[in-house]
Structure 1
Amino acid sequence: MRRALATRPGPASAVVELVDAQPEPVTPGDVTVRMLTTTVNPSDLITISGAYASRTTFPFVPGFEGAGEIVAAGPQVDNGLVGQRVIPIGGAGNWQQYRTVPASWCFPIPSDIPDTVATFAYINPVTALLMVDGHVPAGTRTAVITAAGSAIGGQLADLLRARGVAAIGLTTGRALRPAADAGRFTAIVDRRDPDWPDALTAAAGGPADVVFDCVGGADGPRLLSLLRPGGQLVHFGLLSGVPLTTAGPDVPAGRSVHLFRLRDRVYEMDRSAIQDAFDRVFAHLRAGRLGTPIAADYSLDDLGSALRRAETQPGKILIQIGR
């Protein structure tokens, strides 16, 4: 079978190689999943870059998202699972034709959800759902979302609007970032405006209740200054590749910072709670929310081209695995 390996830290297009390999053995509790589709998520590129050096061991098979079909069940696993389409989670490993994974980390795909939709149903939608659940209590009026042009930025806006919360988007102003979908936001502010903090406050009609940040970098103190007393800055990504700075002389007291990591969160949840999150994501998808437009489609054999595109152009990529 074909498998992608990140051999060392660096730009994915330079350090990921396609190799021939044997499927891993199926031990008790495991299933073998024939991967059907996968994608290149920003979390894949950031992990491959070495940004999370303390929790990344090279070489490894990247790929946090994907859809597949169970083709073999190991001992202590119900053989009736064979043939079921699933989303395998719990770690990287989806950039390969066959993946061996504990059955407990495989979640069924409803029959009305295509593979191409299920591929994108995990990282961004589940992250957005759990963050809104945890940090947008009743009475929340306004929320600021950085990297508003990102897929998860729009999905957060979808969920906030459904709760009656005004979603104010902050765009990064970077050439490779897609434009934010104005229809999903109450207002959008351009980060290139030197007075963007004042513009955000004006758009929100005053201090915001919560800020969702997936960029990191040096803007932490200014983002905190946008919040009302008791407001929350929820940091969940590192698109800049630079850790978030949250200390500074202008940071007002009474504002809190919360770090959200999806992997840590799902490891704290029992299977029924994770399944419930997926069920709710699928319901939102059926209702026209949390969708992910696909900008380009590649085969696994052309993974190098997919990675070069992901590094240089905006938009989500679908990778067809095949047999």
Structure 2
Amino acid sequence: MKANCVKFYETGSPQNVLKVESKNIDPPFNGEILVRMKLRPINPSDLIPIKGAYSHRIALPTIPGYEGVGVVEDVGDGVSKELIGKRVLPLRGEGTWQAYVKTSVEFAVSAPDSIDDYVASQLYINPVTAWIVCTDVLKLKPGDILIINAGGSSIGQIFAQLSKVIGFRMIAVTRNNKYTNELMELGAYSVINTTERSLNKSVMELTNGLGVTSAIDSVGGMEGTELAFCVQQHGIFLTIGLLSGNPVDWKIISQKSTVKVKLFHLRLWNQQVSIHTWQQTFQKLITLITEEKLALNTSGVPYDLLDVKEAVSMFESSKRVKGKVFLAD
């Protein structure tokens, strides 16, 4: 059987390097499942390796895509045939930007009927990162104050909701007022638009001059560097992303601040945790969603896999309508 996939043979602009091809679909091996994909969200983390980051650990050509949801089409030896026809997230196996994905059954996460395809497809990258960062890395508790940049992003909105669940106060940093009301409704303690107000001055006013307990930087560059100086003495400055494409000024941070610097990579967490913890984490998030304590953004227009370049162009467009961009089959 042959089916479509998206592949890149060299790194660069997605518009230049992404190709839609046909590939042979091999049957699943022992312990594997074959999943017919239904929906995949496009995330910044999907595009970073296409543009050239992580080249030291990515063998080309390769198929991009880290998450999505589909239906089990076939199973290998040692896997119950009762899984056939069930919806799952086929994670940590092949890239998801293809019609069929194979992965180990251990890493597949069952999607209950209580959540639709749009929610299920987004359960991995942002929700797992946000939950682990808040509970395991920063160990946030009631009374703590967290500041994040890229406040209007998908993960920023998740952090705002988790502040209600866990009980900490969250300050969101944005560059416009587009998401201010929404972030406050979701649970943010305050939203600072840095085009209108000084970041450090605003934070010190909100914290009586003490600074925040912890900071999460998703942007890097000067924005991330400034964020580090909003943290109280010996607080934690955690970097989880590089949306600007530039690192923070580590020299200035090390010389002029007293923060404890940490980095979080979901890939490394995956390597360290047991299968039980992996599955348990998803079940906790699914519970929060079914209890309506956590909601994921399901607005947006799905694009056919064949129209991947148009979908990526829309994702990267500054004129993109509010909502996610999905690849569908």
Instruction: Return the TM-score normalized by structure 1.
Output: 0.91
Deviates most, 145-154 or 298-307: 298-307
- Corresponding residue of 1:293: 298
- Corresponding residue of 2:315: 310
Q: 2: distance between equivalents of 1:153 and 1:224?
A: 17
1:240-278 C-alpha deviation (Å, 9 max, x unpaired): 111233221785554111111112112211111111111
| Count of residues paired in the alignment | 318
Q: 1:161 to 1:249 in 2, by over 3 A?
A: closer
The one of 186, 199, 204 equivalent to 1:196 is 199
1:2-34 C-alpha deviation (Å, 9 max, x unpaired): 100022211222211111111134222211111
Q: 2: distance between equivalents of 1:309 and 1:193?
A: 28
- Residue type of the partner of 1:179? Y
Q: 1:91 to 1:186 in 2, by over 3 A?
A: farther
- Residue type of the partner of 1:145? I
Q: 2: distance between equivalents of 1:251 and 1:227?
A: 15
SS in 1 for 2:61: coil
- Corresponding residue of 1:271: 275
Instruction: Report the identity percentage.
Output: 27
SS in 2 for 1:202: helix
The one of 162, 174, 189 equivalent to 1:171 is 174
Instruction: Return the TM-score normalized by structure 2.
Output: 0.90
Q: Aligned-pair distance for 1:291?
A: 1.4
SS in 1 for 2:301: strand
Deviates most, 1-10 or 295-304: 295-304
Q: CA RMSD in A?
A: 2.1
SS in 2 for 1:8: coil
Q: Is 1:236 aligned with 2:240? A: yes
Deviates most, 286-295 or 33-42: 286-295
The one of 80, 87, 90 equivalent to 2:89 is 87
- Corresponding residue of 1:33: 35
The one of 274, 279, 283 equivalent to 2:287 is 283
Structure 2 alignment gaps of length 5 or more: none
Q: Aligned-pair distance for 1:46?
A: 1.4
CA contact (8 A) 2:165 2:293 kept: no
Q: 2: distance between equivalents of 1:24 and 1:50?
A: 29
Q: 1:250 to 1:61 in 2, by over 3 A?
A: closer
Structure 1 alignment gaps of length 5 or more: none
CA contact (8 A) 2:70 2:88 kept: yes
Equivalence map 1:121-160=2 (5 Å):
121-134=123-136, 135-160=138-163
- Residue type of the partner of 2:288? H
The one of 15, 18, 24 equivalent to 1:16 is 18
- Corresponding residue of 1:53: 55
Q: 1: distance between equivalents of 2:223 and 2:42?
A: 26
Q: 1:250 to 1:121 in 2, by over 3 A?
A: closer
